[in-house]
Amino acid sequence: MNEATLFVRTRPSRGAPAGTSEGELAIIWALSRQRAGRLRTIQPQGAKKRQKARSDRRLSESPSQLWYLLAHVRQPDAHDADVLSECHDCGLVQRLPDASVAAVVLCERCGARLRQVRHNSVVLSAACAAAGLGLFALAFVLPTASVWMQGGRFATSDLVNGPERLSQNGAWALALAVVITLLILPFAKLSTVLAMSLALRFGRVPRWLKACFTALPVFTEWAMVDVFLLGAIIALFRLRAWMLVAFGPALFALGGAAVCSVAVDAALDRAVFWHRVPLGPKSRGARTPTGWLACHGCGLVTHAAEGSKCQRCEQSVHARKHDSVRRTWALIASAALLAIPANVLPVMTITKLGRGGPSTILGGTRELLHVGMWGLALLVFVASILVPLVKLGALSFLLVSTSLRSAAGLGTRTRLFRLVALIGRWSMLDIFATMMLVTLARFGWLGNVMPGLGASAFCGVVVLTMLASRAFDPRLMWDAAGQNPGPAIAPGVTS
């Protein structure tokens, strides 16, 4: 923020919501000038003007305070839905710039992505989603890989027999995790985008589709086609050491589907989609608004009561995630406990020509090192051992610093949280690699791989750490440091 940011004269601001009063225009104008770095200090004369200047200076010190004031000056209207946005990482309510060019709008305080402005977003994302669904369907019917051993022994794997083999060998939890992350959620993500595009085209969005579209970020985080591909490649390279391996066409189809899924993410401008969903009527008997709340589902910022229904997506609106700190601690503690059996128990039992035995995660990495696959060994070590440890450590650090109400390095801590949320899913690499090994290596004493209890425990660790980062609300760090208007003590932080 510029230090000398005063405004004494009111000037209309372009793009201000209809019905904005002169005082509000002054605030909006000051904000836009501040942002452009063009606000000059004008020294007012006289005691009254000096007093006004002091209060203006105080106001202009923090844009969140300005918006806080604006929120109390005027009731929001439908137009605000597209003008205001709350940063999901730091809680700053800010006005989005005109969306006339394709750009990424970042939070001015913490750098989080507020909006991705894309032209023809609905058509482009529908096309990418349809192509992805086609390739995904193809991957279902084709084999993912085939292997041959001496004596004409042959085995093939596809997307269905992988989880089947896991559950037959008692690893039903693993099979369930694979079915959800590899089959159900990628399909749910692509079909939700396609259905929403079609629904907007026909001008009617059913309630269930709204609910699915609000869950789209969850689908994106938990849909792991890309992680599976890398895991499958690692497994096939390991198998190449003792049998003949052929990459199946389903791997290429899945690769295409993964690219389409990334293209959907790149083309999707959620604000455009939600903008075309009409606002519903305010629920009858609505409680008195508790403040300026952003809907977690669709991003609509309204003056609403805690726990009331969003006018657009019909999800419950909350200022902050419910009981975030306690839930995150509980999930971290469970994950840390489960990490012990995950690293001590064997993730699989490998038999080669009648020899071999149980192998842990670390053992698997060592085995890759012995056969000279340095790159893969490093990849497995980072994804399976380093990433879960870093996640647990980083989340604990964020929770402790929030409880201490520390204001130091808020930007860095928020970036750390984003990194933790981003890398967590890649730990599933070893689970998918194990599944491929179990499905393909089934030649009895010649070459066989069985899943171990450690694999299920490790899968539990990955799922729990991912849930922990989802349960943590990074806005609490900013609340606790007194950076957000409203309650200075974050809910859930014990004093």
Footprint on this chain of Zn ion (rule: CB under 5 A)? 87, 89-90, 92, 107, 109-110, 112, 295, 297-298, 300, 310, 312-313
Q: Exposed e or buried b for every residue in 160-198, given b needs 16+ CB within 10 A? A: ebbbebbbebebebbbebbbbbbbebbbbbbbbbbbbbe
Would you put residue 93 in left (φ > 0), alpha (ψ -120 to 50) or beta?
Answer: beta
C-beta closer to Zn ion: residue 110 or 229:
110
The distance of closest approach from Cβ of residue 406 to Zn ion in the complex, given in angstroms and rounded to an integer, is 17
Shortest reach from residue 293's CB to Zn ion, in Å: 10
Least distance in Å: CB of 263 to Zn ion? 26
| Closest to Zn ion by CB, 4 or 488 | 488
- Cα(229)–Cα(429) distance, rounded to whole angstroms? 9
Which alpha helices (DSSP H) does 345-452 contain, by range?
Answer: 361-370, 374-381, 387-403, 410-423, 429-440
Q: Which is nearer to Zn ion, 274 or 458 (CB)?
A: 274
The token pair that represents 337 in the structure block: 């406990």
Q: Return the number of other C-beta atoms located less than 10 Å from residue 10's C-beta.
A: 15
Give Rg (Cα) of the chain. Answer: 27
Please say whether the dihedral angle defined by the alpha carbons of residues 100, 104, 107 and 113, taken in this order, is positive or negative: positive
**Cα 88–29–60 angle (5° rounding)?**
65
Structure tokens given for 372:
């000279």
Least CB distance from residue 376 to Zn ion, whole Å?
38
Least Å from the CB of residue 255 to Zn ion: 35
Which residue, 254 or 313, has its beta carbon nearer to Zn ion?
313
Q: How far apart are CA 402 and CA 493, in angstroms?
A: 7
What is the rounded CA–CA span in Å between residue 316 and residue 321? 11
- Closest to Zn ion by CB, 1 vs 4, is 1
Of 214 and 261, the one with the shorter C-beta distance to Zn ion is: 214
Q: Is 432 helix (H, G, I), strand (E, B) or coil?
A: helix
Phi, psi of 388 (to 5 degrees): -60, -40
User: CB–CB of 277/205 below 8 Å?
Assistant: yes
Min dist. Cβ of residue 477 to Zn ion (A)? 11
The CB-side HSE value for 133 (13 A sphere, CA atoms) comes to: 15
Please report how close the Cβ of residue 122 comes to Zn ion at its closest, in angstroms. Answer: 19
Q: How far is the CB of 300 from Zn ion (least distance, A)?
A: 5
For Zn ion, the closer of residues 165 and 270 by Cβ is: 270
Q: Is 37 exposed, middle or buried (0-12, 13-18, 19+ CB in 10 A)?
A: exposed
Comparing CB distances to Zn ion, the nearer of 26 and 295 is 295
Q: CB neighbours of 283 closer than 8 A, spacing ≥ 6? A: 308, 309
Query: Cβ of residue 345: shortest distance to Zn ion, in angstroms?
Result: 42
Distance, CA of 288 to chain centre:
32
Q: How far is the CB of 294 from Zn ion (least distance, A)?
A: 9
Tell me how far apart the terminal alpha carbons of the chain are, to the nearest angstrom.
Answer: 30
Residue whose CB is less far from Zn ion, 310 or 380:
310
CB closer to Zn ion, 89 vs 473: 89
CA distance 3 to 82: 29
Give the nearest distance from C-beta 325 to Zn ion in angstroms.
19
Euclidean distance between CA atoms 249 and 466, whole angstroms: 31
- Decide whether 149 or 211 has the Cβ nearer to Zn ion: 211
